[in-house]
Amino acid sequence: MRLSGYRFGKIEVDGVPWQEDLWVCAGMVGRWWRREGHRVYPEDLAEVLELAPEVIIIGTGFYGILKVSEEARDLLSQKGIELMAIPTKEAVELFNDLSQKKRVAALLHLTC
């Protein structure tokens, strides 16, 4: 899958526009709901963890407001999954590059 055209609140996944937070992994895409709007907890990762990614890239938003809780970081560490939490623009670029080499999940916050 290819991510493109990211700007505040919008992105395209294989040419299909999205205007809500989403996850992309293993050729699938879905809405990304979180317990709390700007914080990621272990349960917010459950759907993509079922797809057994080697790497999880979390797009922290246009301004990088989204934060990953220590509990979520610990869970990924225990499972041996590499975590990268970076602003969404960078996350999109990194996903497009890394997904050619590894099983990568991108969880993207599209706004703030």
Please report where in the chains the tokens 């999109």 appear, as a residue.
92
Please report where in the chains the tokens 């317990």 appear, as a residue.
35
In contact, 67 and 38? CB cutoff 8 Å:
yes
pLDDT for res 48: 97
Could you tell me the pTM of the whole model?
0.96
CATH code reported for the domain at 3-108: 3.40.1230.10
User: Measuring CA to CA, how many Å separate 39 from each of 14, 42, 82, 109?
Assistant: 27, 10, 18, 10
pLDDT for res 72: 98
pLDDT for res 54: 98
Q: What is the pLDDT of residues 35-74, one digit of tens each?
A: 999 999 999 999 999 999 999 999 999 999 999 999 999 9
CA distance 21 to 107: 8
Domain map of the chain by residue range?
Answer: 3-108
Q: Is 106 helix (H, G, I), strand (E, B) or coil?
A: strand
Give mean pLDDT, residues 3-11. 98
Q: What percent of the chain has pLDDT over 70?
A: 100
